[in-house]
């Protein structure tokens, strides 16, 4: 079997290092820099001929730069005769643009899949896509991992009373139902509307009973915090005893800090799939690391083991 080699761009070096620590492998040396004209330059500083190459790069702000870094790294690895190239994308940017739901709009999540394939990736490893169907945008093998069992296990140890897991929209109901099942909790669903092509969201009505109960809102990502903040308000108005928040991808735009730090959320739980720019002032937070999960999946891909067995 060809040797494994792991590299990263500039999106989330700390995470790539954590994955390498778990794998007991050094993080490979790859120069990824930008010229003053914003053109990106990549050079692998070691021989990767015939190696099983893993490129770790979440597509996070500045999104277009990090995406280009990944694509150029894939191209450089291909031209350096890597044996196989796996794009490890803990957060798949543009994931919300996954359908043509109004006239004359793109399906950017699909366009990205094309870019990644054309650049020369042989496979993709990712975590909690915005919609599972994005898998089908690729014609190369894709493994999608999930951090939801880890989130459920965390809350199982929290002594919640009569817990309810809450999905912030119908699209998130399946994931929330899985968390609820693992937690032995009920499920509630918020009917959320987006009013335009901006970031604002409004929680309209609640399906389910939360009165006097501890609630756990589970979402794939938090960006502005608008979705979870309006859901939290709704749950409170329906008599929730406490509201905990959990998301896989903590993207946290500046507004999320304002909204959540002034809320009465009991706790905010998230993974390290993307870098978090600064700590919250008032909200209690807890980070769950997905580095071991991603590392184990990479090892299984390398050795031809089952990735699905990670979730049995
Ligand atoms: C939307 O469908 C997602 O599941 C999240 O609810 C959304 O991306 C969160 O965005 P924001 O925090 O800006 O409301």
pLDDT digits (tens, 9 = 90+) for 97-123: 999 999 999 999 999 999 999 999 999
Ligand 1 mean position, distance from CA 128 (Å): 13
pTM, entire model: 0.96
What confidence category does residue 174 fall into, taking pLDDT thresholds of 50, 70 and 90? very high
Specify the pLDDT at position 203: 63
Ligand 1 mean position, distance from CA 227 (Å): 6
For residue 226, the ligand 1 atom closest to its alpha carbon is 14
* 175 within ligand 1 shell (Cβ under 6 A): no
* 225 within ligand 1 shell (Cβ under 6 A): yes
pLDDT (mean) for 94-99: 96
Cα 21 from Cα 2, distance rounded (Å): 20
Percentage of the chain lying above the pLDDT 70 cut: 97
> What does pLDDT average to over the chain?
96
Ligand 1, atom 8: nearest CA belongs to which residue? 221
* 170 within ligand 1 shell (Cβ under 6 A): no
Q: Convert the pLDDT of each residue in 191-208 to its tens digit.
A: 987 666 766 667 679 999
Specify the pLDDT at position 212: 98
Specify the pLDDT at position 72: 99
Helices 108-119 and 63-79, interaxial angle, to 10°? 30
Specify the pLDDT at position 189: 97
* 222 within ligand 1 shell (Cβ under 6 A): yes
pLDDT (mean) for 285-297: 98
pLDDT (mean) for 261-275: 97
pLDDT (mean) for 209-222: 98
* 200 within ligand 1 shell (Cβ under 6 A): no
pLDDT surpasses 60 at 143: yes
Ligand 1, atom 5: nearest CA belongs to which residue? 221
Specify the pLDDT at position 271: 98
Say which range, 167-171, 191-195, 232-236, has the weakest mean pLDDT.
Answer: 191-195
Domains defined along the chain, listed by start: 4-146+292-311 (3.40.50.2020), 148-288 (3.40.50.2020)
What confidence category does residue 80 fall into, taking pLDDT thresholds of 50, 70 and 90? very high
Specify the pLDDT at position 178: 97
* 95 within ligand 1 shell (Cβ under 6 A): no
- Active site residues per annotation: 192
Specify the pLDDT at position 204: 79
For residue 256, the ligand 1 atom closest to its alpha carbon is 12
Specify the pLDDT at position 312: 80
Pocket test for ligand 1, best of 176, 223, 255 (most atoms within 8 A of CB): 223
Percentage of the chain lying above the pLDDT 90 cut: 93
pLDDT (mean) for 211-216: 98
Contact by Cβ (8 Å): 49, 16: no
pLDDT surpasses 70 at 1: no
């Amino acid at each position: 079997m060809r040797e494994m080699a792991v590299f990263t761009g500039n999106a989330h070096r700390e995470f790539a290092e954590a994955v390498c620590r778990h794998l007991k492998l050094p993080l490979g040396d790859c120069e990824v820099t930008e010229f003053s004209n914003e053109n990106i330059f990549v050079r692998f500083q070691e021989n990767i001929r015939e190696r099983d190459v893993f490129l770790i790069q979440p597509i996070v702000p500045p999104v277009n730069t990090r995406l280009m870094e990944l694509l150029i790294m894939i191209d450089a690895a291909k031209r350096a005769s890597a044996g196989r190239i796996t794009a490890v994308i803990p957060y798949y940017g543009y994931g919300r643009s996954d359908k043509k739901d109004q006239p004359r709009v793109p399906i950017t999540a699909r366009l990205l899949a094309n870019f990644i394939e054309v650049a020369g990736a042989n496979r993709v490893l990712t975590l909690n896509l915005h919609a599972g169907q994005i898998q089908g945008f690729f014609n190369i093998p894709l493994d999608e991992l999930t951090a939801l069992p880890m989130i459920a296990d965390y809350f199982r140890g929290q002594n919640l009373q009569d817990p309810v897991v809450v999905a912030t929209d119908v699209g998130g109901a399946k994931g929330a139902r899985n968390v609820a099942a693992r937690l032995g909790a009920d499920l509630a669903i918020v009917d959320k509307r987006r009013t335009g092509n901006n970031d604002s969201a409004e929680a309209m009505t609640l399906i389910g009973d939360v009165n006097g109960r501890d609630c756990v809102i589970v979402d794939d990502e938090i960006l502005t915090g608008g979705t979870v903040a309006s859901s939290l308000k709704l749950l409170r108005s329906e008599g929730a005893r406490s509201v905990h928040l959990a998301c896989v991808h903590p993207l946290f735009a500046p507004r999320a800090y304002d909204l959540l730090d002034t809320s009465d959320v009991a706790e905010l739980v998230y993974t390290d799939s993307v870098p978090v720019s600064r700590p919250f002032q008032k909200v209690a937070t807890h980070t769950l690391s997905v580095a071991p999960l991603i590392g184990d999946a990479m090892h299984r891909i390398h050795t031809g083991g089952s990735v699905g067995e990670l979730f049995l």
